[in-house]
Structure formats: structure tokens, C-alpha cells
Structure 1
């Protein structure tokens, strides 16, 4: 964008209102920024466009990349600004290239990878996490639509969870899968495992359980550290997942406190390259709530976090949005929800952290999930 800034600005002056509206529709700017740009006084058309382009550039590489993609793909924009085709808009090396989680060969489309769900519903102390099966099915539907092979392990103790994670991290000893009673999502139901699983371009792990600060619980109420869960998949010279994105979605409380609502007006490194990557690279962990707080789950509809995640994936994956962008929308949607527990007003704030080195884009199959 820096190289072509002057050309872009002069070209987009042809209809400054259209490009402003398109940028807002794609959520590259906030509503407040949109209103501010729209109501600028004492500026000519060129001045409006200059301020818009500067605003985009100040938002960083990812927003710049999304803006260039918009200019290249939107039919209204291509029709309105035909001179854009004469401008070199290809993304330079300084911008992160996306990991497109989609593989194919002459035999047809292959699964992007595995989505493994650990779904703890009934605990040994008699407690039942009502609504969790709805979460599991929602995840299975959306990730199978995103061309993942979806497997589920139900009601596991802490040791069984460790065994499951260790098995799927390497897939070297597949005989363990029978002991773990792994089920597979097929024809809208969980059924017996259909053949040996294999790793693909990405790995998704969903843990649905109780939890406290920094841990999730087995059905025996023993705690498994979330950090230990992630460490199982660290990059090694022998791991089939080294260099591939590994996404962990954790639906579990992280404490006993209740989130309260507060009033708000408005809800670089060097370029040297190495053949080695850090062992902690390529992870994304999305937690239903921040530390010390509860995560809300409806006994019929399922949890706020998982249901919002599935909704946003269905809406935004067909648009080509990457997983971190989608999780920003999940964070916002969940933060706006409100419930009551024993007459107390309840809020929830998910947390996302990642070491992904590239954008992860999940490509859906044709049709609805």
C-alpha cells in the first residue's frame, strides 16, 4: 500500500462514499471511525480518501491485506474503479500469508485435518453438565462443514484425557483409540470410528468440561493443566504437527467469580530467516472466560462461548476471514450477552491467545453446515 499510496488515493477519489461504505461493511473500520470519516468538514473528496487510506494503513499489516483483497475481489469496486487493474496490488512478503486449511488431490477433497472433542457431561460425583451435548454437536456440524474429520471422546477421567491428547499428538499407537471409545461424526450423529485417523493441515482440540483457574477437570474431578494440554503438542523433530496450526477451544469455568457488567460508551522483529521454529509456535488457545471467572452454559441451548463460536464460523468462513478475526467477533458477541444466576446479573469475557505465525483460514464445503 505504501508503494501505491498516491495512485490508490487518486483512483478512489472517483467515488469516495462507495469505498468508505465498503470498508465499513467489511468491518475494516469501526462504526465510530466510519462516522468520523463520513462527517469530516472542510475537506475535499481527495482529503476524505487520504484520511481513509491513512486510517487503514495505521491499523497494521492484516487490515492492509484485507483492504487490498477487498479492492481485488469486490465486483462493485472493480466496476467503479476500473483503473485499479493497472495498479500492482499483490501482497508483498512483509505481509503474512494465510494458511489455507484445504487439501486436495486427484482422488478428490481430503479432510483438512482432525477436530477432536473431549466432552465431559456426567461426573463421578453425580453432577451433570447439561447442554454440553448440544455444544458438541454444534462443533461437529461446523467443523465437518469446514472439512475436518470430527472425533469425540465422552466422559473422560483426567488420566484418560492425558492419554487421548498424547495419542492424537502423535497417532503412533492407534490401538489406544479403541480403549478410549472414540466416536466419529457421520451423517449428523456420532457413531463408531470409521478407519484410522490421520493428521492434515491443521488440528482442532475442543475441551468441554468443568474447570478452575488454569485447569480443566476430568469426570473424576481431577485437574488437568491447560498448559500441560498444549505442551503435549509442542513442536519436535518427530511430531507430524510441527509447523501446522493447532487450535484449542476450551469451554470451562476458570474460577468461581461472576463477571459483572460496567457502563462503557464504546462497547517488530528483524527480517532474518531461520530453518528452525520455536517449539511453542503455531498455537491458538481460546478460553470461554478469563481467569478466576465462571463460563455460562444453558442447560438446553449449550454454552454462550461455543454457540457463538459456531455461529461466527458459519457466517464468516465463507467470506475468507481468518480464525483470529473470527474470534474477535466471538469475544464481542459473548461480551454483549447477559444472564442472571440467583438474581445476580452475569456477564462473560472470553480470552484468546496465540502464537500462530500466519493467518489461518478455514475453507467450508459447499452448502450449509
Structure 2
């Protein structure tokens, strides 16, 4: 029996059981990429106006069935293999869902071989799909925290810096911070962090290191590992961030500093940039939703110099971003929260940033609904999934 037929046969029971906690199944179905729920569909499913919660699940199941056999198969696999789903909906075990076989396993070379070890080809394929983060520490997380602009104070930015330090330290990164940098200092500091060739030069920027309870003086030279995180907390304008001297440094120049070269130890490794800065002076308004190879060369021998980047911006071009004077910015606080919730479950960072986009987009910054909104933006050239995991002591 096909997966779609299995779903059709058990449709009423599936909908009734999953309606017990529809939010979990909506989130799980969205996170499972093979099911094919888009961000727009996910938002519409969350915001539909139904008289009872079952309506959300009815629409979800119908949408998956309409997507075809592969989506139905992926959904049934999810219901049968996800541990959280099995705990949340124990009645699922009473439904005959395995009439449609689980997705086929790789064919073994010999049918008599009882070993569950994957063939080398499958191992390589799995490794090719996810960046390996094995170094200890995972690598560096660099925070540029600009608070003091002449007589203007970016209140709340220290809360952002501390929360970022805590969460990335928890994820196994060595966290370093440069405070109150001019444009020239930011530019030179980033070049130092890209090369890590001169420890003495880093001292010029008064680099501090997160100790677990606060930032202290840097004692030993940093080294790159399997990934790199850069968080810039500052004022900004279209395509730029400002040093404390109000001079602009382009975001493009920041990322280009870390582009792939034959000499760079970060070539082929993921580089994530989190930019908390306005990108203009416009306020975003809310609107009502209407439905609520070089020809002769081996291609694998070459890597684009702009590969392996992820840039998450607090806001889209031309617009402001919101920062609370005590509690920190909407964007950074949401990033930290989603990392805390998703990383223990091995969620890919792009999935978590989609959640950040959704969460921040629902916040209100004015007294009237829709008066002040904020929409973060994610740009990426990652070639694989990036999964960050809490360090094991």
C-alpha cells in the first residue's frame, strides 16, 4: 500500500490524535525538509482561524497528502521514528502506519550480511551532507560590541553580548569580545581574527574572553577550529555597520575578510555572521495576512571563494531594528533562545534561523498593531547542513 493510501485510510485517527498538541506536529512537519512544508505554508497553518485546534491538523494533513507520495512517506516516517512525537502522541502506536514501508535503506553488497554498518558510499554521502564539527573547542566566536557612541549609549547591547557568549560557550566555542571599536579598529581586528598570525597584535584591540561568568583578559593565543562565528552589535545603515566614530564598514567587507583562500585555515568551513544593527531609518509596518565547471577539470577540486557563509541580519535593507534598553534586541534574544531550544535536538542552524525570522516578525513595537514591525533576513552560501551541539563536559 502506498504512503498516501495509508494516510487516507487512517486520516481520521491521525487527525484526532495529533490534535492533542497541534503545535508540536506543525513544528516537526516544518522542520522535516522532505515533507516539503514551506515557511509561508507553515506561517499560514499557524495563523489560520479555526473554531477548534483540530482544524490546524486537518489542514496540515490535507496539505501533505496534496503534495504527493514522497511527502506522505516522509510524514509517516516522522510519526514512526521521532522520539518526541512518540512520547507526545502514544496512541499512534495503535494505528497501522507501517503498511507503507519506511524509506528504503541502502542496498547491501551481500544479502546474507547481517551487519548494520553502512557501506562506505553511504558514509561518504552522510559526511558530505553535514559540516563536521569535531575540534575542541569547536572554534572561535568573536563578538564586536559597540556600546559607546560619543554621548549616545546603545543600552541593552551588553545583555545581547553576554547572552551570545553564554550560548556559544555552551555550544563549545571559545568566545572573544572586542568592545567599542572604531571603523578602522573593526577592520583591522577582523583581519587579525581571520589570519590569527600575530597574537601580540590582537592585544591592541583589548580582546576579552568569556570565562563562564564574565569577560576577562585574553591569556593565550586563539586558534581556528571547524567553524567560525562573528557577531557584530552596533548601529548601522544600508549595507554597513558603524564604528563608534560613526564611520561605516560595509558588511560585504566584513565577510570578504574571511573568504576562502589557499592559505586560510577556514576554507571549506562554515562561517556564520550575526549582524545586530539597523539597516536604515524606515519603520516596517504590518499588514493583515490574506490567508492567514572549468570544462576539463574535476569539479570537486575547486571551491568558490564565497562558499560556506551564513549571514543573518537583524532586519531587511533600509529598516530599523528594535533593541530594548534592558532586555536586549529582539533579534539576538530570539537567536539565543532558538539555539538553546534546538541545538540539543541537533536542529540545523538554518531551521533555527527560520524560526527566528518567524518569531521576530510577530513582535509588535508600537501601541497600535502593525505600527512597528521587524523582519530579519538570512543570506547563505552554505553547502551542507550546519548542526551545533552543546559541549559534553
TM-score (norm 2): 0.76
Given that 1:216 and 1:224 are in contact with CA atoms closer than 8 Å, whether structure 2 keeps it comes out as yes
Q: Which has the higher strand share?
A: 1
Residues 229-248 of structure 1 correspond to what in structure 2 (within 5 A)? 229-248=254-273
Task: Report if aligned partners of 1:12, 1:49 keep a CA contact under 8 Å in 2.
Answer: no
Residue 329 in structure 1 maps to residue 355 in structure 2: yes
Is the CA contact 2:308–2:383 (under 8 Å) kept in the aligned structure 1?
yes
Aligned to 2:153: 128
Q: Within 2, Cα distance between the matches of 1:12 and 1:342?
A: 44
* Count of residue correspondences: 340
The alpha-carbon deviation at position 345 of structure 1 amounts to 2.7
Which residue in the other structure is 2:129 paired with?
97
What residue in structure 1 maps to residue 50 of structure 2? none
- Unpaired runs of at least 5, structure 1: 1-5, 41-46, 105-109
CA drift at 1:201: 1.0
**Alignment pair present for 1:74 and 2:88:** no
Structure 2 residue corresponding to 1:282, chosen from 305, 308, 312: 308
* Structure 2 equivalent of residue 3 of structure 1: none
Paired residue for 1:51? 65
**Structure 1 residue 265: Cα displacement:** 3.5
Q: RMSD value over aligned CA atoms?
A: 3.6
Residue 142 (structure 1) aligns with: 167
Q: Which residue of 1 aligns with 2:49?
A: none
Q: Is the 8 A contact 1:205 1:249 kept in 2?
A: yes
Structure 1 residues 237-246 or 29-38, which shifts more? Answer: 29-38
Superposed displacement of residue 162, structure 1: 0.7
Structure 1 residues 52 and 70: alpha-carbon distance in aligned structure 2, compared to 1, 3 A threshold: farther
Are 2:4 and 2:68, in contact at CA under 8 Å, matched by a contact in 1? Answer: no
Cα deviation 1:32-52 (Å, max 9, x = unaligned): 399477269xxxxxx979816
1:88 corresponds in structure 2 to 104
Aligned to 1:199: 224
- Counterpart in 2 of 1:38? 58
Distance 1:338 1:159, change over 3 A: same
Verify the 8 A CA contact 1:164 1:180 in the aligned structure 2. yes
Tell me what 1:107 maps to.
none
Greater shift, 83-92 or 26-35, is seen at 83-92
In the aligned structure 2, how far is the partner of 1:88 from the partner of 1:315? 31
Question: 2:63 & 2:151 partners in 1: Cα distance?
Answer: 63
Separation (CA, whole Å) in 2 of partners of 1:351 and 1:87: 34
Q: How far, CA to CA, are the matches of 2:315 and 2:174 in structure 1?
A: 27
Answer yes or no: is the 8 Å Cα contact 1:68–1:89 preserved in 2. Answer: no
| Aligned: 1:263 with 2:288 | yes
CA–CA separation in structure 1 for the residues paired with 2:64 and 2:368: 53
Secondary structure of the 2:68 match is: helix
The alignment partner of 2:162 has SS state of helix
82 and 51 in structure 1: CA distance in 2 versus 1, 3 angstrom threshold: closer
Q: Secondary structure at the match of 2:312?
A: strand
Alignment of 1:3-18 (within 5 A): 8-9=3-4, 16=11, 17-18=13-14
Match of 2:365 in 1: 339
Is the CA contact (8 Å cut-off) linking 1:37 and 1:52 kept in structure 2? Answer: no
Unaligned runs of 5+ in 2: 19-23, 31-36, 47-53, 107-117, 293-297
Number of the residue aligned with 2:204: 179
Task: Summarize deviations over 1:111-164 as a string: whole Å, max 9, x none.
Answer: 1111000000002x2111000000000101111111111110000011110111
Q: Counterparts of 1:69 and 1:240 in 2: how far apart (Å)?
A: 38
Aligned to 1:26: 28
Task: Give me the whole-angstrom Cα distance separating, in 2, the residues matched to 1:50 and 1:134.
Answer: 41
Shift of 1:173: 1.5
Q: Distance in 1 between matches of 2:162 and 2:70?
A: 39
| Cα shift readout 1:20-70 (whole Å, capped 9, x = no counterpart) | 947534142436399477269xxxxxx979816728649xxxx96x98577
83-92 vs 127-136, which moves further: 83-92
